Structures are given as C-alpha cells and as structure tokens.
Amino acid sequence: GIQVEQSPPDLILQEGANSTLRCNFSDSVNNLQWFHQNPWGQLINLFYIPSGTKQNGRLSATTVATERYSLLYISSSQTTDSGVYFCALHWGATNKLIFGTGTLLAVQP
Amino acid sequence: NAGVTQTPKFQVLKTGQSMTLQCAQDMNHEYMSWYRQDPGMGLRLIHYSVGAGITDQGEVPNGYNVSRSTTEDFPLRLLSAAPSQTSVYFCATRDSFSNQPQHFGDGTRLSIL
C-alpha cells in the first residue's frame, strides 16, 4: 500500500521561531490534507492542498505532487501551535484517508 | 467540530461487553468513515460508507460492525470488546460530490479492561 512518512518526528521550538514540517508519500494521490491535533485531541483541518501553495495567517503549505511531497510552514510560532501535525492522503477510488505518523511539536514560552 | 457529533466522549467497558459508538452529521454528506488512533500513531481506517445502505472495510475492520440506514448516522458496533480495542475513535465525513476535505468529530475515548 501507499506509504506516508513525516519528518521530523519531534520538534521543540522557542516561541517566535519558524519551522518546516515535511510529508513524503510513495504513490500518486488525489488530494492531501494537513491537520493539527491539539492537546485536547481534536483534529483541526489546516489545509486541503493537492498541489501548489496555500496560506492561512502564520501557516502555509506547499504540495509538489509530481515529486510526492508536501511541506507545512509555521512562522512566528506560538505556544498554542503545540500538538501533533498530521498529513493525510486522499487515495484511491473512494478517497480513503491515509495518515502519516505525525510530527509532535512543542513550542516553549 | 461543527457538524459531526460523536457520543459518548468517554467509555469504559469490560472484556466481552458490547457497545455502539454513535456518529451523527447534519451536513448531508454522503461519505462517512470511522478511524481509530492508538498512542503515538496516526489514524487508521476501520470502516467507511459512500452512502446510505453501502459500507465497506478499511485497514483494520476485524472486531467491528457498521451499518448505514440513513445519511445522517453511521454507528460503529463492538460486539465483544477486547483490550486490543482500547483506543480513541474518530468519525469523519466528506461531501463525496465535491472537492472538499474530510471533517472529524471530537472523538470517543474507549478503554476496555
């Protein structure tokens, strides 16, 4: 089946720092989502991005489908950015969602 | 998360007991699915449905049953709970007929003793 790898697995930042999270995948996909799972366990949609670049405030995402990777940029990080970031691929005829193992981000004040 | 409601939020069961996790949505989405999340891992697909009366298996279907009698509801049943089913369960929906993301409920935290 399709493989999804995220890096780094863990990341500790000081408040105000910038970071880049990466998602590599092994097969062509229909679409890709980035999620933030907050400390309460809720999954928050960040981006739905099959290709190109999107921005939402301090966050932006770029997907290069032909090279099978996506990047999530977090600028001027805040403590509320802490949590786990997942990429998930929409794959196959029924658009099953295949998750990566996530990046655990801790932003320290 | 607006539109996808999961109940209960927490549940403790004994091995061998049965229970149903409820998922309801008010967005008229055709596609609904159940995932489980285990510590340190991403979510894995259990079962999904592309419309009322149609269900299919995901990656980890064993030990779970589903049915889809209405567009709004997609219950997940554990017929005989096992400790290996201790997990956090998420329901998700998507409008199949448009290019839209999946939306998740807030999850049900299930412990089986």
What does B21-36 look like in DSSP terms, one character per residue?
EEEEESS--SEEEEEE
Cα–Cα distances in angstroms (integers) from residue B42 to residues A60, A91, B55, B98, in the given order:
22, 16, 22, 25
Which chain B positions have a beta carbon within 8 Å of A48's beta carbon?
100-101
The pLDDT assigned to B41 comes to 76
Q: pLDDT value at position A29?
A: 79
> Residues of chain B whose pLDDT is less than 50?
1
Contacts of A31 in chain B (CB under 8 A): 99, 101
For testing the chain B interface, which of A95, A103, A104 should be mutated: the one with the most B CBs within 10 Å?
A95
- Residue B97 is predicted with a pLDDT of 60
For the segment A53-79, the average pLDDT, to the nearest whole number, is: 96
Q: State mean pLDDT over A48-61.
A: 95
Q: Is B27 in contact with B1 (CB distance < 8 Å)?
A: no
Count of CB atoms situated within 10 Å of the CB of A22:
15
**Of the candidates A52, A56, A49, which has an alpha carbon nearest to the alpha carbon of residue A32?**
A49
Q: Give how far Cα B49 sits from Cα of A16, A19, B15, B55, B58, Å.
A: 43, 37, 28, 4, 10
d(CA B22, CA B26): 14
Our CA-based measurement puts residue B110 at a distance from the nearest CA of chain A, in whole angstroms, of 13
CB atoms within 10 A of CB A68: 16
pLDDT greater than 90 at residue A5: yes
Share of chain A above pLDDT 90, in %: 78
Local confidence band at A95 (pLDDT 50, 70, 90 cut-offs): confident
Q: Which residues of A touch B57 (CB under 8 A)?
A: none
